[in-house]
């Protein structure tokens, strides 16, 4: 059984990926410092798969502990999610973001290199494209300087990995996610936003649950079909499946080059109002919303050309937006009942 280390394995995309890896027959070890995750996700994962992953409470900024982990736990590959991800917070605390996201990555890569672990998947984002000049966005689309320090840490992370892959002959896959949504169909794991959500779907589910009074729709004067901004909402279980396929590609040495990039999106853009309508229809309820001015830093539209991932990873999104939004709502209701 191949052993995969998942850093940030108790987080939103990480936990879904741990489940998918276990179900695909991998042994999973998790490193998470729980700075933005709950340790009870270990129990939640176990209740889905009946396999308890080994868990290590390590902050990757701690170089010594990170090295010791690799010395004591031989693994075949790494999927690296552990990072801060709040755009607004990164604008207020850029150094905290650079320290955490970049130092964590560098310590991880050094420890991997010293312990001869040759395969890594990096959690990147479509934010590296900024407002692209053409839609859909494929992997050849020129990168633009991201607006936020968070986005810059993703772009810098990719650059660090480029040098790492070529200098040390390592195999790297960067997965650029569009907008992750949804939850596990069991409702046992899902997104756990701390405080007021910034992202659209958690705000919608919290508004439907009565935790928030009213959803603000940021801008209806964009040059789009209904004036609201367009994004490509990709289900988190489909994302998890792409990670399994990407690490398997490396394990089976099927990668074409030692540094590969894949866009992970559905290929279809939805406006904010289309998401709200799809949520209402999927769950047979209505969401209180109000049009507000545009949010600073937002782009007009972003949706993926996912044909490279389809061809090379043999991956395909399978979950419709409505189904994702049903799962998100079930997860939100489940959380409410647990409180």
Stretch that binds ligand UD1, among 26-34, 62-70, 196-204, 317-325 (CB under 6 A): 196-204
Touching ligand UD1, residues 11-50 (CB under 6 A): none
CB of 22 or CB of 205, closer to ligand UD1: 205
Between 236-251 and 12-23, two packed helices, what is the crossing angle to 10 degrees? 60
- Residue 5 as a binder of ligand UD1 (CB under 6 A): the answer is no
Shortest spacing between CB 52 and ligand UD1, in angstroms? 29
Which residue, 324, 337, 35, 37, is CA-closest to 202?
Answer: 324
Interface map 221-240 toward ligand UD1 (x if CB under 6 A): --------x-x---------
Stretch that binds ligand UD1, among 57-65, 213-221, 259-267, 309-317 (CB under 6 A): 213-221
Task: Give me 295's structure tokens.
Answer: 């949010």
Task: Give me 258's structure tokens.
Answer: 């030692």
- Residue 278 as a binder of ligand UD1 (CB under 6 A): the answer is no
The answer to whether residue 150 is catalytic is yes
Distances (CA, A) of 224 to 179, 217, 227, 273: 18, 14, 5, 11
Shortest spacing between CB 200 and ligand UD1, in angstroms? 4
Active-site hit among 55, 150, 164, 222:
150
Alpha carbon 251 to chain centroid distance?
A: 21
- Residue 217 as a binder of ligand UD1 (CB under 6 A): the answer is yes
- Residue 99 as a binder of ligand UD1 (CB under 6 A): the answer is no
Residue 196 CA to residue 216 CA, distance in Å, equals 12
Q: Considering Cα of 139, then 259, then 118, then 86, what sign does the dihedral take?
A: negative
- Residue 218 as a binder of ligand UD1 (CB under 6 A): the answer is yes
- Residue 259 as a binder of ligand UD1 (CB under 6 A): the answer is no
Which residue, 297, 237, 305, 295, is CA-closest to 269?
Answer: 305
Shortest spacing between CB 198 and ligand UD1, in angstroms? 5
Shortest spacing between CB 278 and ligand UD1, in angstroms? 13
Alpha carbon 253 to chain centroid distance?
A: 24
- Residue 268 as a binder of ligand UD1 (CB under 6 A): the answer is no
Q: Which of 25, 74, 293, 297 binds ligand UD1 (CB under 6 A)?
A: 297
Distances (CA, A) of 204 to 85, 278, 286: 19, 11, 10
Stretch that binds ligand UD1, among 13-21, 182-190, 197-205, 322-330 (CB under 6 A): 197-205
Q: Which of 26, 203, 261, 279 binds ligand UD1 (CB under 6 A)?
A: 203
Strand 171-177, strand 259-264: pairing: parallel
- Residue 216 as a binder of ligand UD1 (CB under 6 A): the answer is yes
Residues 6+ away with beta carbon under 8 Å from 194: 36
- Residue 200 as a binder of ligand UD1 (CB under 6 A): the answer is yes
Say if residues 97 and 153 touch (Cβ distance below 8 Å): yes
Task: Give me 130's structure tokens.
Answer: 């900024």
- Residue 60 as a binder of ligand UD1 (CB under 6 A): the answer is no
Residue 332 CA to residue 49 CA, distance in Å, equals 21
Touching ligand UD1, residues 237-256 (CB under 6 A): none
Residues that bind ligand UD1 (CB under 6 A): 87, 125, 127, 151, 179-180, 198-200, 203, 215-218, 229, 231, 272, 295, 297-298
């Amino acid at each position: 059984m191949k052993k995969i280390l998942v850093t940030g394995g108790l987080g939103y995309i990480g936990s879904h990926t741990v489940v998918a890896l276990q179900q695909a027959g991998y042994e999973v070890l998790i490193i998470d410092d729980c700075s933005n995750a709950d340790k009870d996700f270990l129990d939640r994962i176990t209740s889905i798969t009946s396999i308890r992953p080994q868990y290590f409470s390590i902050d990757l900024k701690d170089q010594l502990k990170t090295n010791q982990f690799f010395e004591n736990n031989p693994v075949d590959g790494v999927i690296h999610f552990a990072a801060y991800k709040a755009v607004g917070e990164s604008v207020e605390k850029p150094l905290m973001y650079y320290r955490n996201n970049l130092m964590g990555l560098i310590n991880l890569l050094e420890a991997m290199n010293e312990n001869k672990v040759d395969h890594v998947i990096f959690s990147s984002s479509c934010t590296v494209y900024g407002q692209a000049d053409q839609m859909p966005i494929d992997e050849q689309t020129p990168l633009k300087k991201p607006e936020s320090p968070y986005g810059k840490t993703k772009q810098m992370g990719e650059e660090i990995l480029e040098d790492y892959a070529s200098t040390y002959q390592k195999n790297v896959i960067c997965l650029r996610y569009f907008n992750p949504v949804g939850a596990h169909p069991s409702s046992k794991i899902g997104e756990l936003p701390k405080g007021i959500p910034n992202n659209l779907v958690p705000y919608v589910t919290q508004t439907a649950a009565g935790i928030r009074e009213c959803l603000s729709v940021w801008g209806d004067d964009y040059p789009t079909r209904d004036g609201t901004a367009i994004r490509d909402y990709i289900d988190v279980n489909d994302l998890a499946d792409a990670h399994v396929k990407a690490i398997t590609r490396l394990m089976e040495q099927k990668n074409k080059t030692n540094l590969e990039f894949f866009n992970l999106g559905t290929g279809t853009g939805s406006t904010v109002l289309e998401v709200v309508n799809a949520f209402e229809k999927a769950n047979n309820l209505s969401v209180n919303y109000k049009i507000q001015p545009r949010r600073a830093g937002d782009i007009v539209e972003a949706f993926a050309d996912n044909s490279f991932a389809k061809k090379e990873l043999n991956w395909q999104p399978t979950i419709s937006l409505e189904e994702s939004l049903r799962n998100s709502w079930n997860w939100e209701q489940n959380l409410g009942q647990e409180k």
